[in-house]
């Protein structure tokens, strides 16, 4: 039985031809395709500027650097994310401060973020978890009133959209309510460059700092090193792949939407809890996460995870909350109970396979296996409250 991964890239012969053409050109590193890719992503998202990087993590690091985050600065972020989000704060000498999630959207809760603001706070760094746009307007209000920067981690959310209070449709990446947005082009994301990332902004001074940072801190105009930077450059042949993938970005997104909807319909009646998507929002469905009704089941999440994997279904768990990671517990003294909503989600979460190349047979296989397992594990006896 062929294992079914939770995510997978989709390359075709057009993609391969585009990369080969770039490899046969005069430029394979710092050539013209990088700027073309940046311009295309910026145009699609509605931002003025885009700066490409060697990975999504490099993009996050660069955004924190461009924001001026340094020793003694605090950055409020969510515990429910991949460690790269908060690691980027540490790279620049700052301190991540975790605020708990909203249990319905699974995104950073603005009210809890506000409660974490101190005189040392420099920025807020929300994550559009799974591809669902977070509540940017209240976060933007907090940032502007407190003189903070707002940096969106959009690694899950390429193609996602939301509607502001005036009814204007906004794309994640437009930076209409933030200073910068980062993207990742890892193979399991919406489009891929192999590895790669990008920062979008509408502020030219941030664009210039980002460009210097990815090139050793060297100013491209005079060739002099202005500040300490890194070699975070992406290649031309990677951007050739990115440009080719952009041609199918809308088709990829539609297929993800189809699969996400099919899961909800075909797994109805099992007591599963799905991420809540509000009105006026377009979820980009990087992840299709579900929460199991553990209070009703006689087995735990890890048992179901193991059984599904034994049947070739590559379910995952996104993510162990960052404050429970061993490194962060040692570094910051965080512990279980610090962020109960994120921890409760994690205890019952499964990520189901979802990627554009999934066929109908793949979808039915996941649905059948999960239905069979949930139907066969047995249900706990209800606990009756005699005072009711």
**Active-site annotation, residues:** 189
227: tokens are 């500040």
Closest among 261, 321, 318 to 287, alpha carbons compared: 318
CA 105 – CA 148 distance, rounded (Å): 24
Burial per residue of 85-99, b for 16 or more beta-carbon CB atoms within 10 angstroms, e otherwise = bbbbbbbbebbbbbb
CA 57 – CA 89 distance, rounded (Å): 11
The H or E element containing residue 10 is none
DSSP per residue, 174-218: S-SSSSEEEEE--TTSSS--SS-EEEEES-HHHHHHHHHHTBTTB
207: tokens are 């664009």
CA 234 – CA 348 distance, rounded (Å): 38
**What count of other Cβ atoms lies within 10 Å of the Cβ of residue 369?**
19
Whether the CB-CB separation of 356 and 255 falls below 8 Å is answered with: yes
Whether the CB-CB separation of 162 and 132 falls below 8 Å is answered with: no
Cis before 329? omega within 30: no
CA 76 – CA 87 distance, rounded (Å): 13
CA 360 – CA 245 distance, rounded (Å): 23
The CA angle 276-282-283, to the nearest 5 degrees, is 55
**What count of other Cβ atoms lies within 10 Å of the Cβ of residue 293?**
14
256: tokens are 């993800």
């Amino acid at each position: 039985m062929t294992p079914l991964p939770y995510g997978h890239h989709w390359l075709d012969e057009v993609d391969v031809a585009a990369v080969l053409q770039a490899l046969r050109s005069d430029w394979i590193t710092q050539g013209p395709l990088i700027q073309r890719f940046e311009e295309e992503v910026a145009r699609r998202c509605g931002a003025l500027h885009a700066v490409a990087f060697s990975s999504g993590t490099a993009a996050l690091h660069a955004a924190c650097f461009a924001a001026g985050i340094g020793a003694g600065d605090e950055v409020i972020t969510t515990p429910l994310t991949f460690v790269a989000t908060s690691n980027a704060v540490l790279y620049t000498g700052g301190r991540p401060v975790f605020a708990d999630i909203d249990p319905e959207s699974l995104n950073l809760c603005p009210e809890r973020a506000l409660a974490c603001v101190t005189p040392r706070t420099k920025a807020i760094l929300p994550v559009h978890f799974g591809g669902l746009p977070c509540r940017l307007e209240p976060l933007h209000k907090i940032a502007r009133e407190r003189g903070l920067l707002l940096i969106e981690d959009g690694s899950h959310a390429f193609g996602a959209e939301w509607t502001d209070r005036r009814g204007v449709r906004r794309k994640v990446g437009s930076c209409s309510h933030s200073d910068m947005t980062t993207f990742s082009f890892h193979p399991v994301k919406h489009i891929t460059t192999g590895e790669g990332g990008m920062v979008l902004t509408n502020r030219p001074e941030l664009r210039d700092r980002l460009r210097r940072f990815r090139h050793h801190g060297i100013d491209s105009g005079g060739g002099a090193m202005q500040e300490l930077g890194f070699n975070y450059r992406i290649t031309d042949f990677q951007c050739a792949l990115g440009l080719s993938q952009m041609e199918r970005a809308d088709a990829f997104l539609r297929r993800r939407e189809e699969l996400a909807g099919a899961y909800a319909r075909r797994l109805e009646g099992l007591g599963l809890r799905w991420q809540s998507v509000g009105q006026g929002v377009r979820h980009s469905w990087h992840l299709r996460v579900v929460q199991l009704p553990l209070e009703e089941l006689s087995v735990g999440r890890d048992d179901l995870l193991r059984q599904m994997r034994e049947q070739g279904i590559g379910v995952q768990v996104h993510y162990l909350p960052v404050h429970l990671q061993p490194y962060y517990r040692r570094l910051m003294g965080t512990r279980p109970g610090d962020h109960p909503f994120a921890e409760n989600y994690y205890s019952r979460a499964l990520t189901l396979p979802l990627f554009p190349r999934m066929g109908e047979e793949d979808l039915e296989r996941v649905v059948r296996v999960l239905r069979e397992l949930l139907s066969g594990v047995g249900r706990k006896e209800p606990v009756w409250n005699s005072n009711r």
